[in-house]
Amino acid sequence: AIPTEQWAQVLEEKGGKVQYKKIPVPKPGPDEVLINIKYSGVCHTDLHAVNGDWPLDVKLPLVGGHEGAGVVVARGELVHDVEIGDHVGIKWLNGSCMSCEQCRQSNESLCAEAALSGYTVDGSFQQYAIGKAAHVARIPKECDLAAVAPILCAGLTVYKALKSSGARPGQYVTIAGAGGGLGSYAIQYAKAMGLHVIALDGGDEKRESCLKLGADTFVDFKTSKDTVAEIRAASGGAGPDAVLLLAASEKPFQEASQYVKSKGTIVCVGLPANAFVKAPVFDTVVREINIKGSYVGNRQDTAEALDFFRQGFIKAPYKIVGLTELQKVYDLMQEGKVTGRYVVDTSK
Ligand code: 8ID
Ligand code: ZN
Ligand code: ZN
């Protein structure tokens, strides 16, 4: 039976600490499902929501979280293609209108009516969460729910970003922020796609993790005298064909145009507060540099990213802690001390 109350982590005010408390279990609308969330990954976006540092209003009070993996326990009367007992995931895009031009073109994350999990609607840091049936990720039954949770944002986002970089097997990609959540998954997807990986991040723990995950080279932004020269050298001199900017700080966004290969592509993914991308117009023109943004992925990207995981290509490191420990994870993340991903277990 579905309980009427549940445990959740609730943010009451901008910049505050999350409160572990009992709240009502929500009821699904006609086109929604109710999911018993088992595990949820903790994304740096959740920390941006707490800090309120983006130019986009956060719902308050808020239950954060958008990498929630669980089991469907109830569904609205219009839902026919998701069954009770199915394994599904709450991702950043909780729902979209499905009828505007962007939705029709399958650019659902660009929908003006998009509902964002753990930001404009309550997310997965609770035991029971709501998702629009059309948008919940379909998780194959053989996938471990804790291990698959980070695929719902980190995996999906970097998979789509790698696709939109246009990088082909055998080419070089630089991953800035490679030791963090998105970065760890990006290394694995890039290797599965046959790319050479130059990982950029800071500190020995991140170096070890990146190399273990398959990065060919690690460049340490904290100790390197010249990151641009090191990255160029690691890609055979001409610079990487693609750059994925995943860091939650501005510096890599100011630097990438100095080392990307001519005709190469810089993909902006990280969302540091109040930051700008920088590139000299002259080089952008005469070296034909492409600079683009990439924002999560659509339902097909989700299915493809999950399939890479199901095939066993993606084994990034994650640490499981209880939902009660969420504030501690935020504190570590704020200090840049998270290597890989933290996943919270909603039963603890
Ligand atoms: O759809 C999207 N575009 C999307 C989806 C999901 C997340 C965007 N994001 C955004 C988040 O909101 C956040 O701004 O991507 C950013 C990274 O999210 P994350 O991977 O969850 O964060 P993390 O685990 O804290 O990792 C960030 C890494 O960046 C490194 C840190 O050391 C850390 O390992 N980093 C920093 I901060 N400054 C760096 C620098 N100067 C750096 N790495 C290299 N050079
Ligand atoms: Zn995220
Ligand atoms: Zn729409």
Query: In this prediction, does ipTM exceed 0.95?
Result: yes
Q: Across the strands, what pairs with 70?
A: 37, 88
Which regions in the chain score pLDDT beneath 70? none
Nearest ligand 1 atom to alpha carbon 202 = 32
CA distances, 309 to each of 2, 320, 347 (Å): 30, 18, 24
Q: What's the token pair of residue 272?
A: 């540091």
pLDDT of amino acid 1: 87
CA distance 270 to 185: 14
Peptide bond into 140 cis (omega under 30): no
CA distance 67 to 94: 11
Judged on CB neighbours under 10 Å (0-12, 13-18, 19+), 85 is exposed
Ligand nearest to the CA of 113: 3
Strands (E), 97-239: 115-116, 128-132, 137-138, 172-176, 196-201, 217-220
For atom 2 of ligand 1, the residue with the nearest CA is 295
Strands (E), the chain: 5-10, 19-24, 32-42, 68-75, 87-90, 93-95, 115-116, 128-132, 137-138, 172-176, 196-201, 217-220, 242-245, 265-268, 290-293, 318-322, 341-345
Three-state secondary structure call for residue 43: coil
pLDDT of amino acid 317: 87
pLDDT of amino acid 287: 98
pLDDT of amino acid 316: 85
Largest CA distance in the chain: 65
- pTM (2 d.p.): 0.97
| Ligand 2 center to 69 CA (angstroms) | 14
Three-state secondary structure call for residue 15: coil
| Ligand 3 center to 94 CA (angstroms) | 12
pLDDT of amino acid 120: 98
Ligand nearest to the CA of 298: 1
Q: What is the DSSP letter of 117?
A: B
Domains delineated in the chain? 5-152+297-345 (3.90.180.10), 155-293 (3.40.50.720)
Pocket test for ligand 1, best of 44, 258, 292 (most atoms within 8 A of CB): 44
Ligand nearest to the CA of 219: 1
